Amino acid sequence: MIVPSRLSKRVRILIFVAALLIIPAIFLPIWTITLVAPQYPQGIKMSIYANKLTEYNPETGMTINTPRLINGLNHYIGMHEIRPNEFKEFRWLPYAILAFSVLALVSAVVGRGLFATLGWILFILFAVFMIGDFYRWLYEYGHNLNPQAAIKIDPYMPPAIGWKQLANFKVISLPGSGSILMFFAAVLGPIILWLESRQKKLS
């Protein structure tokens, strides 16, 4: 597949759409981790945003900015307390997302194939880096356990995606609406390439 140097109007509109799809990730949850247990049948839901964490308890309908309940439960197994101010990512992640949206926007305006392709590759690398970062945090929390904890468990890897049973808790980890939209933006890249190559064959 050869990337055409000048992008068609249709493709530029698609890149513009990608730019729009990225933007909401600044405000929408990127990842959600839900803890379900017999005494929490509706689950306690932690949502990770670009700049904050929230914990939602469907029983009270209350949403708070520190995972108070989850920390309370985790302390039995000696898990390090989840403190939002310990995540440096929250400081720059919104700007990174904004930057990628702007990059897509510029690609759409400039309309150069190489520029757009490079932008897309950068975006994918960024996504891979963020997933890696998420894995690292999960590993840290699952392995950095206080040896003095009341209940001793073997270090474990919390699920990054999917679900895992841990004692009485089922931990369900799923992408949030923000990252689903970013996923669609990323998928637009190959679609564009396919569309362009077909266009070329036809002409």
Partner 1 sequence: MRFISHGNTMKFLCLSIFVVFVWLLFACKEGGGQSPAEKVYVPPGKLDSYYAFLSGGHSGQVGVFGLPSGRLLRIIPVFAADVAVGWGIDEESKQIMGDYIWGDAHHPALSETNGDYDGRWLFINDTANGRIARINLKRFVTEEIIQIPNVGGNHASPFLTPNTEYVVGATRFSIPVPNRDVPVDSYRENFNGVIAFVSVDKDTGHMETAFQILMPPFDYDLADAGKQVSYGWAFFSSYNTEEAYKDLEVEASQKDKDFIAAVNWKAAEEAIKEGKFKEINGVKVIDPREVKGIVYFIPTPKSPHGADVSPDGKYIVGGGKLAAVACVHAFDNMMEAIKKGDFDGEVMGIPILKYESVRAAEVPVGLGPLHTQFDDQGYAYTSLFVDSAVAKWKLGTWEVVDKIPVYYNIGHLATIHGDTTKPRGKFLLALNKIAKGRYLPVGPSHPESAQLIDISGKKMEMLLDFPTQVEPHYGQIIDSALIKPELIYPLDQNNNPYATKSADQTRVERDGNRVDVYMIAIRSHFTPNVLEFQEGDTVYFHVTNLEQDVDITHGFGINFSNVDMQIEPGETKTVKWGADKPGIYPFYCTNFCSALHQEMQGYIRVTAK
What residues make contact with partner 1 under the rule CB under 8 A?
Answer: 57, 59-60, 62, 64, 68-69, 72, 75-76, 150-151
- Nearest distance, CB of residue 80 and partner 1, angstroms: 16
Side-chain-side CA neighbours of residue 94 (13 Å) = 13
Least distance in Å: CB of 140 to partner 1?
Answer: 23
Any idea of the CA torsion for 183, 96, 57, 147, to the nearest 10 degrees? 110
Q: Is 201 helix (H, G, I), strand (E, B) or coil?
A: helix
Of 40 and 123, nearer to partner 1 (C-beta) is 40
Name the E strands within the chain: 31-37, 40-48, 53-57, 62-64, 162-166, 169-175
Nearer to partner 1, 40 or 100 (CB): 40
Shorter beta-carbon distance to partner 1: residue 39 or 203:
39
Closest CB 55 distance from partner 1, rounded Å: 9
Closer to partner 1 by CB, 20 or 62: give it: 62
- What is the spatial distance between Cα 84 and Cα 90, in angstroms, rounded to a whole number? 8
